[in-house]
Structures are given as structure tokens and as C-alpha cells.
Amino acid sequence: MKRNLLLVSNSTLHGSGYLEHCQGDIKDFLGKEVKRVLFVPYALHDRDAYAKMARTKFNSLGYELDSIHEASDPVEAVRRAEGIFIGGGNTFRLLKCLYDNKLLPEIRKRVLEGGVPYLGSSAGTNVSTVSINTTNDMPIVCPPSLSAIGLVPFNINPHFLDPEPTSHHMGALREGSMLLVSGNRATLLGTSRARLFIRGKPTVEYEPGSDLSFLLEEGL
């Protein structure tokens, strides 16, 4: 499998600018072979403004950026992409637009079979997984299914918040963390720990730098 993913919990970390906290990781991830990145801004309503912000950032990192909402044929844009970046916003809006434009199988094929690098942030990380069942977002629209792209065989909860000690809420990727997936190897990056939930087992905390490749095993 040619899977090459960088799944970031959040686009903006408190006290820093857009993608600033992970810009070094993005450059390491995309490298020098990728010249242009295809941006998917469907998670926000104002796609023009979103694309402008993303383009400014990626230009500063040395990459050209094309926004899929400006393409006459979104499917063809995915088929030609050197790298794909799906940004954050509302996960339900994002997934519905991906379904509406028939992009889920195209993105999955390009990433898993074509080896195209996939960068996701927040909602973009959510839709890279099995389903969006673990999103924190409000269902402002109704996609035809909650099933997502399926680039990894598990779900992620970006922006994970630890429960208050006095609360009975039992609730992940905390803000400031990200998951780097290369083939069948997964590594936790960033500045925050991640918490793993498996049905019937105690939760486990993992430090940045941890090898989480076992998560990629089907039927975990």
C-alpha cells in the first residue's frame, strides 16, 4: 500500500497563525517532489476566502496551491493532483460536498494506489478515516452516509478535550498533535499526547514519537 498521510488535529494552535505549528512537518511531509497542492475548502462556506488563506500559507512554504472549487471538473482535478490537502471546518458540510462531487472513491484511489500525499487538518483528518462518527461538529447538513474516505481503518477525534474531573462525560488527537502514516507505519508527531479508545479495553495515552503502526491492522 502506497499510503502517505499527515493527519493534523487542528489548523491553528492558540497563539500561532494558520498551520504555523505544523509548517515544518508539512514541508518534511510534502518534500521537494510535490510542486502543487490541490486544496479542498468544502468544510467552510466562504471557499474563496479559505482558498486565499491556504494559498498564501502554502506559497510561503514553497508550494503552489490550486483550489478544487475553482476547477471545472473536480474529479479530474483529483486525478491530476500531486498532493491533496483537505482543510478544517464543518465535517458534515465537507463530507456532503465530497459525496455530491463523487470524490470519495477518487481520493481513496489516488492516495492508496497512486501514492499521492494526503494532508488533512481537523475535518480533513476526520474524513480520512472510516467514518465521521467521532466528529465534534454540529450536523448542519445531512450527507448521504457518515462513511468517509477510509484511508486508515480507525476513526480519529480531532480537537480531543480531556473530561473535567467532576464530570461524568466519558468523551483522539489533542490539539497540537498529528499522525504521520507512511505505508504500514504510523507515528504520533507534534507536542501533545494522544488517547486511544478500544472497545472493552482501558484507554491508553501515547507520547509524541510513539509508534502506532498497530492501529493500521484491520480488525483491531
Count of CB atoms situated within 10 Å of the CB of 142: 10
Helix, strand, coil proportions of the chain in percent (round to 5)? 30, 20, 50
Which one of the listed residues 9, 121, 159, 192 is annotated catalytic?
159
Asked if 160 and 8 count as a contact pair (C-beta separation under 8 A), the reply is no
Give the list of residues 6+ apart from residue 56 with CB closer than 8 angstroms, or none.
Answer: none
73 is catalytic: no
Residue type, 37: V
Count of CB atoms situated within 10 Å of the CB of 69: 17
11 is catalytic: no
14 is catalytic: no
User: Whose CA is closest to 5, among 150, 188, 151, 156?
Assistant: 151
Place of cell 465530497: 98
Which one of the listed residues 9, 11, 21, 137 is annotated catalytic?
137
Which one of the listed residues 122, 128, 177, 192 is annotated catalytic?
122
> CB burial class (10 A; 0-12, 13-18, 19+) of residue 22?
buried
User: Whose CA is closest to 211, among 174, 181, 191?
Assistant: 181
Active site residues: 122, 137, 159
